[in-house]
Structure 1
């Protein structure tokens, strides 16, 4: 592996480790040795420790006293709770912005969904690329609400969602079904229809929860 040569080192180490977790190169339960990571990346222990601390804060890594540092084991109940929290925050954000959202912002949302449309036609389906656009679609909603603390909390939640999506990798069929929800959300926001927006969003999140519950054991150990 090529060594890290530019600064800030902590951010680079953080991004590399995070990517390895998201891509499942480091899987749940793997022990991460700080000195080994430092040697691998060609850096001192300090930026590795700082990066580990950030990932602990996000919940991707856990430190077990007198045992070591491990990639966090995912639990279905925790994932479902994250989705519940995400739903609450997104509903709040929609209520905050529905009266002030601009045509330009709605156009930005529409363009993201168009890109997602195009990916659904690609074979093999680029799941991670689609998932990245999907997450950006929802993150924009939170960002437009302009509450820094809520945004930080939400982005931390979405780290878990991102990891869990990779773990249980929803089927293309169910992704296509849920995809239509994004256009419906855009339309509801365009019409300033908060009730319809909340109804669609609830259906969207509940669909993710139902699929996770039905497939978790099958995919978490795949």
Structure 2
């Protein structure tokens, strides 16, 4: 098999495994069987190993010596620190982009909010679809800041936030309450109201941290 073909296979396997982790087909803490994955995908072990090494670098998979390969499982402290990091980046981005936001950019933000609105009316609630829009909404703000390195860091944080939501999942009721923050952010951006944007971002992350603590306390009881 040529180097190019092997590289393409590795990329394909990487995409499949990453999608399964983010899509909760593989849960945090779950042990992965390399041979089983290779058999299921109809490939040799080599591209699976290479893909897993990439996912280890991404922080989505961890290899524990003499034990095996596992989907990364975040603890409570990790989750809180990631949320704090998100807040730092999002508030920095908001200060950078709010004065120069175009009407088209604001409208795109609004379109995402409207999509999220519609999902809240669906039964059963499509949590995964909503989460993707939620992350896209916040990530778009960071993209507009125009700093590729910061965006890379932020994107890696969002991967872990997606994983942590499997553990620290919240109810539809709390999701609806938090969604009001997105509406507030959209209206504030329409008015280029930076103080409201910064205050709402802080409140949004604070509420996520409080909900995570409640969930963690329930698990520990």
Give the 3 Å change call, closer, same or farther, for CA 217–23 of structure 1 in structure 2. Answer: farther
Q: Single out whichever of 209-218 and 92-101 deviates more from structure 2.
A: 209-218
1:3 corresponds to which residue?
A: none
Cα displacement (A) at 1:44:
2.5
Whether 1:171 and 2:180 are equivalent positions in the alignment is no
SS in 1 for 2:101: coil
Cα displacement (A) at 1:65:
2.7
Which portions of structure 1, spanning 4 or more consecutive aligned residues, are displaced by more than 6 angstroms? none
SS in 1 for 2:70: strand
Deviations along 1:16-58, one digit per CA (max 9) or x if unpaired, are: 2223223433223322233332222111233212221222122
Matches within 5 A, 1:62-211: 62-211=62-211
2:3 corresponds to which residue?
A: none
* Superposition CA RMSD, Å: 2.0
User: Does the 8 A contact of 1:167 with 1:219 survive in 2?
Assistant: no
Deviations along 1:160-190, one digit per CA (max 9) or x if unpaired, are: 1111123332111111111111111112222
Deviations along 1:124-151, one digit per CA (max 9) or x if unpaired, are: 1111111111111011111111111111
Q: Single out whichever of 47-56 and 206-215 deviates more from structure 2.
A: 47-56
2:49 corresponds to which residue?
A: 49
Q: Which runs of 5+ in 1 are unaligned?
A: 1-6
Deviations along 1:63-88, one digit per CA (max 9) or x if unpaired, are: 12333221112201100100000000
Q: Which runs of 5+ in 2 are unaligned?
A: 1-6
User: Does the 8 A contact of 2:23 with 2:128 survive in 1?
Assistant: no
Q: Single out whichever of 19-28 and 172-181 deviates more from structure 2.
A: 19-28
Q: Single out whichever of 8-17 and 88-97 deviates more from structure 2.
A: 8-17
For 2:216 and 2:19, locate their aligned partners in 1 and report how far apart those are by CA, in whole Å: 22
SS in 1 for 2:69: strand
Give the 3 Å change call, closer, same or farther, for CA 42–218 of structure 1 in structure 2. Answer: farther
Q: Single out whichever of 15-24 and 128-137 deviates more from structure 2.
A: 15-24
> How many residues of Structure 1 are paired with residues of Structure 2 in the alignment?
215
For 2:182 and 2:120, locate their aligned partners in 1 and report how far apart those are by CA, in whole Å: 13
For 1:23 and 1:217, locate their aligned partners in 2 and report how far apart those are by CA, in whole Å: 26
